[in-house]
Amino acid sequence: MGEHDLLTNSAKLRAAPLPRVVAPVLKPRFGTGYRAGHEMTSADSFSFSKDRRLTKASEYERVKRDGFARRGKLLMLNVVPVGSSDPCRVGFVTSRRVGGAVVRNRIRRRMREIVRQHQDDLCPNFWIVLVARRDAANASYQQLEHEWLRLARRASILL
pLDDT digits 0-9 by tens, 6-46:
556 656 656 666 666 665 555 544 444 444 444 444 445 56
pLDDT at 138: 96
pLDDT score at 48: 78
pLDDT at 35 (0 to 100) = 44
- Name residues of the chain where pLDDT drops below 70: 1-46
Q: What is the predicted pLDDT for the residue at 17?
A: 65
* CA distance readout (Å), 65 to 55, 92, 110, 123, 140: 16, 16, 26, 21, 31
Note the pLDDT of residue 3.
58
Residue 12 is predicted with a pLDDT of: 60
Give residue 16's pLDDT. Answer: 61
